[in-house]
Amino acid sequence: MTTLARTVEVSRRYGDVLALDRVSLDISEGELVGLLGPNGAGKSTLINLFVGLRKPTSGLVELLGGAPSDPAVRRGMGVTPQETGLPEALRVGELVDFVAAHFPRGSRTPQARAALLARFGLEDLAKRQIGGLSGGQKRRLAVALAFAGEPRIVFLDEPTTGLDVEARRALWDGIRAFHADGGTVVLTSHYLEEIEALAHRVVVVGHGRLLVDDTVQAVRDMAGVRRVTLSAESLPALPGVLGSSREDGRFHLVTGDSDRLVVDLVRSGVPFTGLEIQPTTLEDAFLAITAKETADA
């Protein structure tokens, strides 16, 4: 497959902070790649290198066969960063036209603009002034603009942050449609169910290093963990718990040895009900991978 973006032994420093440490990564045409990592892991730095907003301290970064800083190369790319500022005096349709005009294959016809807005659930807002949009509508517009130039590859950094479930799923449908037409997508997200729903390949970074690069299923399997769920008023400290959360009175515990955890739980004498042992999710695997990296660091 054709490689559209790659890094070779790339490192990036911010003063004394090593944000990326000799990362080598290839993104091939037609892939939908989820980029995961805890805060400060280097995800946004990697995206910024690919889109030409930062230069590496050492190593090589290529985009569409050229340098990400080359304007001619960048015309084949779309991007939505974590934070965006939109001109509030313009109307939605005017902004789409303005952005599309910068690209040789941009959505410049009324039909193409309408199709782009419809893909992201914005078809009724073309004449609306941007300053009058809700926060969620502005975020959907910011993501839609990444596709206005009919790019070959799109980078989306936390595209659905702050959106409700309905708006998030509308964006998912738009991203899937672009990918189904042969487009390439790289996205980061704190919503691991989003990566699980969209991505075919998962890349996990931690402390600036590439920890895992494989399919979603392979990442689930390699973690070797299980999710133990139960209802209880409280729980004591239990050995072997890699991650825990509580929701609606139920504890969700991630462990590499569910049998041992249940034995320790019974021996603790804490009353509980509704014990369930579930297969690994991508979130469980992510917690196990990053916990191991932290322990080894």
pLDDT tens sequence across 99-111 = 999 888 766 788 8
Other C-beta atoms lying within 10 Å of the C-beta of residue 215: 12
**Measured CA angle at 37 (ends 214, 284), to 5 deg:** 70
Q: What is the CA radius of gyration of the chain?
A: 22
Average pLDDT over residues 53-73: 95
More confident residue, 216 or 221: 216
One-letter amino acid for residue 35 of the chain: L
Residue 145 has pLDDT above 80, yes or no: yes
pLDDT, position 107:
67
Helices (H), the chain: 43-50, 71-74, 92-100, 110-119, 135-145, 165-180, 192-198, 216-223, 258-268, 282-296
Q: pTM for the complete prediction?
A: 0.79
Residue-wise pLDDT tens digits, 229-270 = 999 999 999 998 888 889 888 999 988 889 999 999 999 999
Please give the DSSP secondary-structure letter assigned to residue 52.
Answer: T
More confident residue, 244 or 6: 6
Q: Which two tokens stand for residue 177?
A: 């449609």
Average pLDDT over residues 21-38: 94
More confident residue, 286 or 83: 83
pLDDT, position 295:
56
pLDDT > 90: percent of the chain: 63
How far apart are the C-alpha atoms of 56 and 31, rounded to whole Å? 24
How far apart are the C-alpha atoms of 241 and 261, rounded to whole Å? 8
Give domain 3-219's CATH architecture: 3-Layer(aba) Sandwich (3.40)
- Going from N- to C-terminal start, the domains of the chain cover 3-219, 226-279
How far apart are the C-alpha atoms of 288 and 45, rounded to whole Å? 23
Q: Is 32 helix (H, G, I), strand (E, B) or coil?
A: strand
pLDDT, position 254:
86
Are 122 and 140 within 8 A, CB to CB?
yes
More confident residue, 1 or 137: 137
